[in-house]
Amino acid sequence: RADGPQLPLSPALSLSVPSTLQRSPTSEMALNGTAQEEASATVLQANFKGHTARKEKEQKLSSVTALQAAYRGHDARSQVSGGARRQRYYMPAEVSKHDKAEDLWVSCFSSVLDLTTLVRAHPGALAQPLIEAAGTDISHWFDPRTKDLRKHIDPQTNKEAPFVPMGRFIHCPDGDGSVEASPAFKVPWWTDKSLVVGKLTRKTRKIKLLNMLTNQETVLEVCAEETINEIRERYLEHNAHAASYVWKRLDAKASHVLDMTQTLEANGVPDEDGKFDDLSIPDDYYMPTLQLYFSDDLTVA
């Protein structure tokens, strides 16, 4: 009881803290300092890792941006008016698709010219003959020897003047030899090489492509001057993985891998239309066939 006699505690039962568990103020400060150093090191490492990760991400993003910009630039350089893909050679049927003022092509002496910007810069009556001739060949407007405007004697003035049955057009002088004022006009458009987008093919050919993987046949009309690589570009419209195939031709003895940098004729695929004409055989009676063997899908990436 509380009011009873108090018994002294035995020394053996007295509570005491071992000296090893007791911390002096100096050791306490040392421990705190070590903990702070470790925490600072952890924060520093985290910051360094974060900085490195951000730097790597920025470098990757910069590389991707540069690659995309280069691709877009290449793609833009490969395009002409109307979204058409730039080619070395065009067929008359391809030129005929560009038959309006906002997308205007003409062919002249084996060259294909894009006159869209010209007509846009010179609206009015002088642009009308070009708009009416859009998508056609206008070689007959010019002298085949000089490649300049045809001339004739004007029956009203008895003077030499340009022969323009469709009417006077842009950069064409009038009967007095004057041309409409234009600060940007240095050379007439029919001699301006910057307007040329390609050449007009001298002849078209039809070939059959046989996909040996899917057994699908595709008939293509191509320019006789085009290489197999250029023909493959046309085939991409039908098969986006055209670059994953080996192109071959068969003859009576064996199959031959085609040289993609050469034309059909150079690869041993002759144009026999002349013989067919001599024998009165229809053009579509026989068509040379190229075999496409799947190699590896390199176009997925």
Exposed / middle / buried, residue 59 (Cβ in 10 Å: 0-12, 13-18, 19+): exposed
Backbone dihedral region for residue 181 (phi beyond 0: left; psi -120 to 50: alpha; all else: beta)? beta
* 161 belongs to a structural domain: yes
Same domain? For 165 and 208 the reply is no
**Domain shared by 231 and 264, yes or no:** yes
Domain termination residue (choose one: 200, 230, 250): 200
pTM above threshold 0.95: no
Six-digit token string for 196: 């040329």
DSSP state of 259: -
Residue 257 counted as domain residue: yes
Shared domain for 130 and 98, answered yes or no, is yes
Is 31 within the bounds of a domain?
no
Question: Domain range spanning residue 126?
Answer: 89-200
In this predicted structure, what is the pLDDT of residue 13? 47
If asked whether residues 196 and 95 sit together in one domain, one would say yes
Spatial separation of the C-alpha atoms in residues 60 and 114, rounded to whole Å:
39
- C-alpha distances (whole Å) from 187 to each of 92, 99, 162, 170, 192 are 26, 24, 17, 11, 6
Residue identified by tokens 């730097």 is 55
**Residue 30 is encoded by which pair of tokens?**
């040392």
Comparing CA positions, the residue from 102, 69, 189, 73 lying closest to residue 138 is 189
CATH for 226: 3.10.20.90
**Which comes out higher in pLDDT, residue 17 or 137?**
137
Residue 103 and residue 75 share a domain: no
Amino acid at 269: V
Domain-located, residue 180: yes
The pLDDT score that the predictor gives to residue 46 is: 72
- Convert the pLDDT of each residue in 224-259 to its tens digit: 999 999 999 999 999 999 999 999 999 888 999 999
Q: CA-to-CA distance for 154 and 160, rounded, in angstroms?
A: 6
Whether residues 169 and 255 share a domain: the answer is: no
Q: What is the average pLDDT score of the chain?
A: 82
Number of domains in the chain: 3
Query: Would you state the pLDDT for residue 8?
Result: 54
In terms of domains, do 212 and 255 share one? yes
**pLDDT of 86-127, one tens digit each?**
899 999 999 999 999 999 999 999 999 999 999 999 999 999
Q: Which residues pair with 90 in a beta bridge?
A: 200
User: Is the predicted pLDDT of residue 17 greater than 80, yes or no?
Assistant: no
Cα 264 to Cα 152: distance, rounded to the nearest angstrom: 44
When pLDDT is cut at 50, 70 and 90, the band that residue 263 belongs to is: very high
How confident is the model over 197-209, as pLDDT tens digits?
999 999 999 999 9
pLDDT on residue 157: 84
Q: Are 217 and 209 in contact (CB under 8 A)?
A: yes
Report if residue 20 sits inside a domain: no
Same-domain check for residues 159 and 222 = no
Do 50 and 118 lie in one domain? The reply is no
Inform me whether the pLDDT recorded for 20 exceeds 70.
no
Residues 163 and 225 in one domain: no
Residue 150 lies in a domain: yes
Does residue 3 sit within a domain? no
Instruction: Annotate 77-104 with b (16+ C-beta within 10 A) or e (fewer).
Output: eeebeeebeebebbbeebbeebbeeebb
Same domain, 176 and 222: no
Where is 250: in which H helix or E strand?
strand 245-250
Q: Would 300 be classed as within a structural domain?
A: no
Question: Which residues partner with 105 through β-bridges?
Answer: 114
Q: Which two tokens stand for residue 298?
A: 């390199």
